[in-house]
Structure 1
């Protein structure tokens, strides 16, 4: 059971997990772990499943998925019968009126819909994955020079579930560099897996880029793939100005993660998010929602 803090009600919601029984079997049984290491964590499996999700046959699972997870399709640009495949549904676009952007320049916003954890004053050699599990910044991006920019800075982890809106956005006006791609495995990023796989984010396929913002310094964007995520698609134009709230890219099918690193003394994260992170809980947020304030 995964509890998520609800900022509006000040209570905890229970996360309904897509494929929960499957995840528990894979990560908690010896047979499941063996299958994971031999087959499921590899690119081939996610590639094959991605092909299925691109096929017209996969569209048959959309209505039941929407019903099972109570997804409000009124918020999205297309109706159910317009999607020709499950991946088309998965990367659906949202109507902007349902995700207003906190436009004030001094406000830091969430880059997407999901569950957020934030760590301040980070140790570059001991960044928190989950309680008792850590990784180093250099292991994560394989660039010690860039990693050093974030000593004692802030790490923001946004976990996207398969049921979420799966596009991610820019948190400020600015210019984003080219994307650096790092090949890797395809472990799940659900807390069930995070509790079992050390340095998971450093093992999975990931992409990172340096975003030169107008108000928050140099922000490192990192997108992490996961089981059945066939692709991380970057839709922005490198080295061209973007505006706060503009789309940066999207994930194809699967749970995924966006991680942001901010330099020291650039932002003060909202107290409730920090408190919940310290208690071991993620906080539910939406794209454009305020999560912090410029220092």
Structure 2
């Protein structure tokens, strides 16, 4: 899988995303030697911690310009353009507000590629057989799992080249985050193609946003291989506005999952249609994704 097909929403055309470190990911997830390495080292916190320390140190400075040139990052979208002292300063750079206007109704929490399911019962038909997503395993809470049974789900995948701060998709009272320990598997489609269970096995942090319009929206941030940390910047148990910053990921691609109670939202039809075609849709933070 050298490239990933996705839908560019503004044109409704199929585009190709080039997988960062595709060769290494294929080796890790599809060869005997790679699988041993993955289970012995990379999925453990040690590797991510070591990489995280490096990306926070001045030694990582030389990687910034290389990354910008290789992936053609438009620095004019961000604050402190060109003034980054470490790779992580660049990686979780702040975007200029005017570059991400906040839309009507329910909006995307991040820049990334999106999959949408109006009903969680549709998940088994999308992912590989034998790789079912179990809500009680993902939340590690039987009561919450029952609350969101037959609800809706949105998965936003952030590639390493994306803007890595995430924001609230709705307004409401944001509860304190709960952290669940886990491994550090990659969330790249190269890995996800093997098993959706990765979402329930990786380290994840989630909280509720108690919204008048959309009920209790569950928002989860998921760590992955070489993600140094998941940092929450919002004040727990406070009222937040749609589009307010919630936190950021340090180095590495990662994923955000939104889960809604049954019949509380209607996801935009184009997102559902693309998902049924097994295609992600490119979205930007603040873009309307449902009502």
TM class by shorter-chain length? over 0.9
Equivalent-residue separation in structure 2 for 1:47 and 1:201 (angstroms): 20
| Structure 2 counterpart of 1:215 | 213
* Cα offset, 1:292, TM superposition: 1.0
Which position in structure 1 is the counterpart of 2:94? 93
Give unmatched runs, 5+ long, in structure 1.
none
Given candidates 173, 177, 182, the residue that maps to 2:175 is 177
Aligned pairs for 1:1-295 within 5 A:
1-80=3-82, 82-102=83-103, 104=104, 107-123=105-121, 130-132=127-129, 133-197=131-195, 199-293=197-291
Structure 1 runs (4+) greater than 4 angstroms displaced: 126-129
The DSSP-based 3-state class of the residue aligned with 1:189 is coil
The structure-2 alpha-carbon separation of the partners of 1:129 and 1:189, relative to structure 1 and needing over 3 Å to count, comes to farther
How far is 1:109 from its partner?
0.5
CA deviation map 1:101-144 (0-9, x unaligned): 01x4xx110011000001122139x6677343212110001111
Q: CA deviation at 1:78?
A: 1.2
**1:129–1:199 CA contact under 8 A, matched in 2:** no
Give 1:196 shift.
2.1
CA apart distance, 1:31 = 1.0
Uncovered stretches (5+) of structure 2, i.e. residues with no partner: none
Cα distance in 1 for residues equivalent to 2:238 and 2:226 = 31
Q: CA RMSD in A?
A: 1.4
CA distance in 1, matches of 2:94, 2:76: 11
The count of residues paired between Structure 1 and Structure 2 equals: 288
Between the aligned partners of 2:146 and 2:124, the Cα distance in structure 1 is: 13
Using a 3 Å threshold, how does the CA distance of structure 1 residues 219 and 152 change in structure 2: closer, same or farther?
same
Report the Cα distance in structure 2 between the residues aligned to 1:34 and 1:19, rounded to whole angstroms.
18
Q: Is the 8 A contact 1:217 1:262 kept in 2?
A: yes
Contact 1:129-1:135 at 8 Å conserved across structures = no
Return the TM-score normalized by structure 2: 0.96
Q: How many Å separate the matches in 2 of 1:71 and 1:134?
A: 36
